[in-house]
Structure 1
Amino acid sequence: MITTFCSSMMMATFCSSMMTTFCSRMMITTFCSSMMITTFCSSMMITTFCSSMMITTFCSRKMITTLCSNMMITTFCSSMMITTFCSINWMIITFYSSMMITTFYSSMMITTFCSSLMITTFCSSMMISTFCSSMMITTFGDSMMITTLCSSMKITTFCSSVMITTF
């Protein structure tokens, strides 16, 4: 009985130690697997967060790039505008200054173009005037010659009539 009791106690001790070890291993395994799942989930969250940050950064960069390129295309500005992009007031001043300068140069070009047209027109009109004047001088010369011829004819006729009258 004592032997049976002792052996059964030993068996119970062995079994209980086995069960405890098995249970503790299961707990450790469960804990480890839950840690792994948690780590996996958290890494997924971090990855998702990082990827969303990357997408956000990429999108914001794209937006800035697009905005800068649009501004550059619209205003034909130098790198100074991109450098002073954060300073909105300076950007607006630069933008308006460049617009004013552009407008000034455009108006200068238009003025120059108009001036050259006026000069061309003036030169053309001078040429036409000179041509007309020379025509008038020629005509005036011709009329003088005709007048002189007529006058000489009249004088000749008058002299002839006087001679006839005298005779």
Structure 2
Amino acid sequence: MTGNAQLSKATKSRTDARPPRGRKRSANSGAGQHALDDEIGLDALAGHAGYAVRRFQIWIFQDFIRTLSAVDIRPTQYSVMTVIGANPGLSQMAVAKRLGIERARLVHLLDSLEQRDLVSRIKSATDRRSHALHLTARGRTALAQFKRLAAEHERHVAEKIGKGNREKLLQILAAFT
């Protein structure tokens, strides 16, 4: 199978996808529904990169959440902790800007990480309106575990689309990071 066909198949496949948290499948969404879904034409959507990327993103997030479910960490929480771990002392604004997270949403996310004793906010010595972000000792230990599980998730991605395609995909998407 060619790289594009393999990637297209990965984004189109729904057999191993779960509905996003909070949404339930309808009563008729069993195996018969999957066959019906495959019969529904996508017309121009089949050629839209945005549609394919979004479907792949859904699969990626579902696998990440499933793989890290034992440690109760979500993709955005993992991203925030990883950036803080790599850059101790960053401001909330710097983290929000680097990861493209709304400041209000980041505050809520940091509250939850702080309640779990994974992250600490320390008032900035130079700007009273700002906080420096740090991982706690528990946060550093947890992040090491999260990274091991995230590596397992990345192996799942490579299994789904092929190791070479995963590497090509990362090269293509590097322009957006």
Do Structure 1 and Structure 2 share a fold, with TM-score over 0.5? no
Higher fraction of strand: 2
What range describes the TM-score normalised by the shorter chain of this pair?
under 0.3
TM-score, normalised to structure 1, is: 0.18
Q: Which has the higher contact order (CA 8 A, sep 6+)?
A: 2
**TM-score, with length taken from structure 2:** 0.18
